[in-house]
Amino acid sequence: MTSQITFYLSQILGKNYISDDGTILGKIKDFLIDQSTIPGQENEPVRPRVVAIKVRKGAQTRVLDFSSFEIRKFKRQLRITCLEIHDISPEQFHNSLWLAKNVLDKQIVDIHGRKLVRVNDIRMVIIPAGTYVIAVDVGFDGLLRRIGIDKPFQILLGPLRINIPGKFILWDDIEAVGLSNSMLKLSRPSSKLNTLHPSDLADIIEELDKTTRTYLFASLDEEQAADVLEELEPHAQKHLVESLPVEKVADVLEKMPADEVADLLDALNEERAEKLLEEMEKESSEEVRELLEYQDNDVGSLMTTDFYSFHEDTTVAQTLDELRRQQPEPAHINTLIITDHKERFVSVITLGELILADPDKKLHDIMKKNPVTVFDSDKVDSLAGIVSRYNLLAVPVINMNRMTEGVVVVDDIVDDLLSHRKTK
């Protein structure tokens, strides 16, 4: 046998396998691969090896040990020979997967391309150490091969000098989603999906069917789920929040900004929203309830309550030290609130201004002298003009007692404009 043979799953499914003397024994229905890592090489790429083969003869289906099979090329055709018949139980492999049943025609995540694709074929290789899966074919060429018209199609396009390029994704660069096998990498902490930006993962989730969407989202940890939920379109948000257990959703909502949670709950029926609020921690729940009291066109409905404030007598160095200690989300500290001894709003300062200031100066020495503010009861319509006129990244929101209620960031104002609300 040659040292290496490559072939496609479509070239071998449904084909006869024979005995050593050439007798037809049955037809090949599927291959079982083992995705287990090698002890001591847990951080190395997984090399999925074929360990079993499903065959059928008449009405009888059996699972046989693949080590007793040989695959050779004979006159450009694949010949599959069974040297000995040994039944084997798939359950003995703890991280196994049937290729035809669980991978072929299924959706996978192209990690590098950060998108959802369909598996049209599977490329495999035979080496002395065994038979392995090396890549999946997600291109048009793979689809033509599956339905058996790739060669006629190439002959047809030949005179036109048109080639159909193949498109392969290495097994190491994919993540399976929506498969029926329960032992998936997706359930492991090392899931490659964790490497994707929440926005990319949200785009992928939106393309999935509702069942798979719920399964994938439920597999994320709370922090990642919160980031992804913020990026999803409203219809996808609503579906997930209504589909998952209240306890799971409440834990995720507690990781999100209160204004985002309020917008999400506002789209739900009152009964579901109330159950979620009751399940959330009291402090988080009360913050969201306060935001839900605002009318849709009130500035308060658009503001975020995640902001950081410092006393005006605090030095620049002390402020920076405190920010480093608390390690807040970067988006929450672009604009910092400055207060007086009664915690009333005095002014604001941007993070850029803070970094460039003399470390020994106090905040009241470098703060804006005539800060622009809005009241929480003002109308959203006024925000776009204020941001444009004063070139602001955020607008502080205060109440009639000059206490800071929140901050409206420019991104939320833009989103409001794009969502065709009343902002002008």
150 vs 404: which has the higher pLDDT:
404
pLDDT tens column, 38-73: 666 556 666 889 999 999 998 999 999 999 999 988
Residues 6+ positions from 96 with CB-CB distance below 8 Å: 32, 33, 34, 35, 51, 52, 90, 181, 183
Considering the four listed CATH numbers 3.40.50.2300, 3.30.565.10, 1.25.60.10, 3.40.1210.10, the one that applies to the domain covering 197-293 is 1.25.60.10
pLDDT higher than 50, residue 424: no
* Integer Cα distance of 242 and 246 in angstroms: 8
Neighbours of 197 (CB within 10 A): 12
pLDDT tens column, 203-236: 888 888 888 888 888 888 899 999 999 999 989 9
pLDDT higher than 70, residue 176: no
* Percentage of residues in the chain having pLDDT higher than 70: 86
Is beta strand 107-110 parallel, antiparallel or unpaired with respect to 374-375? unpaired
pLDDT for res 180: 44
* Integer Cα distance of 413 and 314 in angstroms: 31
Which class in CATH covers the domain with range 309-418?
alpha beta
**Residue of 127, 182, 172 whose CA lies nearest to 37:** 172
74 vs 184: which has the higher pLDDT:
74
In the chain, CATH 3.10.580.10 sits at 309-418
In the chain, CATH 1.25.60.10 sits at 197-293
Q: What confidence category does residue 297 fall into, taking pLDDT thresholds of 50, 70 and 90? A: confident
